[in-house]
Amino acid sequence: MKCLIPALLCFSQIASPALAQDSFRVELGRDGETIGDMRPVFLKFESRPLPAISPAEVARRYQRLFDSSDEPEVRIDALNRLANIRDRSGQDVGFSPAEEERVYREVIDSYESILSRGSFSGRLDELLYQMAKAHALTGQAEQSIERLKQLVGLYPDSELVPEARFRIAESAFSAGDHAEAESVYLTLIESEEQGPLRTKAGYMLGWSQFKQGPSAWERSARTFLSVLDEFLPTPESIRDVDQSSVDTIDDTFRVLALMAARKTGPGSLMAWLDTAPERHWAYLLFDRLADYYAIRGEFSESVDTNRAFVRYSPDHPMNALFMAQIAEVWERAGDLPRARAARADYVAMFSAPGKYDSLSNSDQQRWKRFSRRLADFYYQRGSSASKGGSYSKAREAFSRSAGYYEALAKRSAPSGALLRLAGDARLQSGEYAAALSGFQNAAYAEEEYGEAADAGWAAVVLLREGVDDIRRTPEFQPDLAALSVESERFAERFSDDPRLPGLTADLAARWFTEGDAKRALHYGEKTVANERASATERYPAWLTLAKVRQQQGEYGLAERAWKQVLEIMSENEIEGLERDAGASVRQQMATAIYRQGELAAANGNTEIAVDHFKRVGAALPNSEIATRGRYDAANALLKASQLYPAINELNRFRQDFPGHPLTEEVSAKLVHAYVASNQPASAATELLNAAGNAEDPWPLKLRAADLFHQAGETVNRNALYRDYLSAHSDADTAGQHLQMQTMRHRLMESVSDRYELQQELVDRELASPWHSEQTLAWAARSSMALGARAAASFSGMSLTHPLPESLDRKQRALESARQRFLDAEKLGGEQMRSESLYRRAELYRVLARDLMGSAVPTDLNELESMQYQMLLEEEAFPFEEKAIRLHSENHQRIAAQGYDAWIGKSLGVLADMNPGRYDRSVRWMTWALEASDDA
């Protein structure tokens, strides 16, 4: 799991041999099994460069000098110089390790001898240093340290003091005196300027503090952090770490992680790190702690550490690796749900465009892998939940799956398959609007997606199910227009798809139901024109075309479409048809033919109309519409005034369909045809036949009577009149009164014995509240005729003895006649008054004359006879006077009404009765008074 420190594996090349080094390396051992066994590795350090001279040659000469000289001082000086040359040049010159141990064993006595004498021509600090080295090489560690302490004490300003102190501290560390070692390392660090030895001392200081236990770990942590600051001063230094420093840096991270783990984990790291500005290498420290926990099986702690760093440095470029490590830790722990959740966190953290773009290519690939794994997992979970009946959980899982597919599709090419999976997941989660978008993008966003047609079809089906309320939610409410747009898009892109005919046939039917005939025709015609359309697809398309054409009144095209439907039905097995589907189609075709007949009839094309009407029977024999076609064929002829053919058709219809309701209307049609063809008697006979079945026959009989009257068949007419007048004594309306009076008047005109009719006519007119000029005139004339008849009877009565009785009879006759004349005057008005006055006056004149001419009783003597005669004159005189007055009144009408024959008759009578006044030769004329006339 060292994925976070690749830079530490790229080591720098070893320095060039041209650079001499003062080097001294002491191995205190590798890591032990326990914390107590852990020992550091010292780093090499460098000093100033040597002159450009062959170190091997110089060393060879000093070796020869050492071997050839017997002087202790000379030999010691030669040995010191050999050591300096080897250390500064960095070359393996001088004695071999085995020879060097031998040499130092030989010179120990020389060192002691020189020190004891107190005289030495060279530097004593170097002498003490070499003695310490000699003791160390010969295994005399205590003596070596003692000499180094002498060096530090006697020569505190010597350049060898730092190294001496380092070795003293090292010795204390090895001996387990970590507090002493800490003190010496601190002294060295405080006195030494920046350099390799100081760095190495800082590293060992941290270990010294660490070895003292948890109470010193805070100091140890600060020390180790400083060491890392020196080794890794810049971000670039991580990539350029010297090979010799790798183990030291690694150990530093390791011990810091160990201490943090023993304390509060990542909290301790953050507390230590917060003591200084942000360190660019902090992520390596968190990574080491996370690794430490993971190796020990403390997986939760490892995950917390990774998360802690992400919180600690939210914008760090290594956060992607930390988040990925969380998933790896849980997977290593076998906790798959948490591993999955970690992958989800990773995907979510870097889903935003800016975040994703900031990832390296490998991190972006990981993001895609994680997204696909999550998408597939939740899709499978949704499928399983759905099969198990847990639909709520299934919808949730599918929704999450779709989210991952959609996000992944945006960053994948090609993306068609992913978009289709996203659409399918959204569909199963009930998120239909998002599902539609997924299918559409999969179908049309890329040209090369092999299953684009299926994705496009899925979009069409989803919209269709939305329109049908199968998949309809408050957020997803597509209409038929949206389905049509999507279908057109599908047809344009996938014009060869075999599913298109079925789709257009379905759209045709839907638009017809919606009431949009134009679109229904559009899709229906597309279907029947498609060569790939099967019978089951052409059938509904032709059916829709037939319905639309019929609805639009294009009945010829509708008939053609219905024929196509019948042909498909007869030649193919259409699934789902109802048993009476064929009958229904034939009914519709018959209707289309019938409507063609109606249109032709309305346009005056009678022959065409009749032909269509008669064809209905061939399309649907023995049907109601066929019967109506026959009936309407006759009607068409009738309306076109082809009366004789119409009469023949109507009679045949009644004969062929005697019990049909329309037959009841035939009679009226025949009546019309007979009347229009000037056959009123036939029309009247047809009406009388119809009246026999009518609940109220009289309207038909009366019309028949009128037609008989028109035909001049008086006998048949009069019989109907008499029957009606017998059945109806009183009129209920003005019209009926006029009708009945007309009947009486016509009867009077056609019979010889008209007295009762006249009497009835007058009485009904006088009793009626309704009058017309015609009925009044008829009644007035009839009343006058009745009065004349009564007057004749009156005149024919003779006065006989006993006179009172005969006179009484005669006076009653007079009164009867007089009343008739008054009734005539009342009914006829001024037109009848002259005649009425004349006739009434004549009644009185005749009565006076008859009184005067009546016989004298035979048993009277002459005187009595004369007296009797005088009494008759007295009785007659008033009647004579009344007659003169009425005639005079008639005479006086000349000025107001003008002269007429009855006034003339009155004047003639007046001339006889009063010749002195009226018997003169005059010429009556009408004249008008002028304004200036004095008359």
Residue 1 has pLDDT above 70, yes or no: no
Distance in angstroms (rounded) separating the CA atoms of residues 184 and 176: 14
pLDDT digit string, tens, across residues 379-404: 999 999 999 999 999 999 999 999 99
The DSSP-derived string for 850-885 is HHHTSPPPTT--HHHHHHHHHHHHHHHHHHHHHHHH
% of the chain exceeding 90 in pLDDT: 34
- Burial track 97-122 (b if 16+ CB lie within 10 A, e otherwise): eeebeebbeebbebbeebbeeeebee
Per-residue pLDDT at 259 exceeds 70: yes
Q: What is the pLDDT of residue 927?
A: 40
For the segment 367-373, the average pLDDT, to the nearest whole number, is 93
Give tens-digit pLDDT for 52-73: 567 777 777 777 777 666 566 6
Q: Which residues face 27 on adjacent strands?
A: 41
Give the pLDDT confidence score for residue 15 in this predicted structure: 30
Nearest Cα neighbor of 598 from 610, 586, 588 is: 610
441-462 pLDDT, tens digit each? 999 887 778 899 999 999 999 9
Q: Which of 743, 761, 899 is nearest to 827 (CA)?
A: 761
Mean pLDDT lowest for which of 94-108, 169-183, 592-606, 839-853?
94-108
847: which 2 tokens?
A: 């009565």
What are the C-alpha distances in Å from 931 to residues 561, 894, 895? Answer: 92, 20, 16
- Per the CB < 8 A criterion, the answer to whether 883 and 913 are in contact is yes
Q: What whole-number distance in Å separates Cα of residue 296 and Cα of residue 257?
A: 13
Q: 474-513 in b/e burial notation, b at 16+ Cβ within 10 A?
A: eebebebeebbebbebbbeebeebebbbbbbbbbbbbbbe
The model's confidence at residue 95, banded by pLDDT at 50, 70 and 90, is low
Q: How far is CA 626 from CA 560, 589, 593, 623, 634, in A?
A: 19, 11, 10, 5, 13
Task: Return d(Cα 278, Cα 289) in angstroms, integer.
Answer: 18
Identify the band that residue 693 occupies on the pLDDT scale cut at 50, 70 and 90.
confident
For residues 248 and 256, the answer to whether their CB atoms sit within 8 Å is: no
Contact 251, 41 (CB under 8 A): yes
pTM beyond 0.85, yes or no:
no
Which pLDDT score, from 0 to 100, does residue 929 have? Answer: 38
More confident residue, 210 or 278: 210
pLDDT digits (tens, 9 = 90+) for 313-359: 888 999 899 999 999 999 999 999 999 999 999 999 999 999 899 99
Mean pLDDT value across residues 757-773 = 90
Residue 213 backbone zone (phi > 0: left; psi -120 to 50: alpha; other: beta): left
Average pLDDT, the chain: 83
pLDDT value of position 818: 93
Q: Which residue has the higher pLDDT, 198 or 377?
A: 377
Q: In the numeric block, which tokens belong to residue 682?
A: 């036939």
CA-nearest of 652, 561, 558 to 598 is 558
The predicted structure's pLDDT at residue 422: 93
Query: For the chain, how are helix, strand and coil distributed in percent, rounded to 5?
Result: 75, 0, 25
* DSSP class per residue in 477-506: ---HHHHHHHHHHHHHH-TT-TTHHHHHHH
* Structure-token match 């519409």, residue found: 625
Is residue 924's pLDDT more than 60? Answer: no
Lowest mean pLDDT among 23-27, 188-192, 279-283, 354-358: 23-27
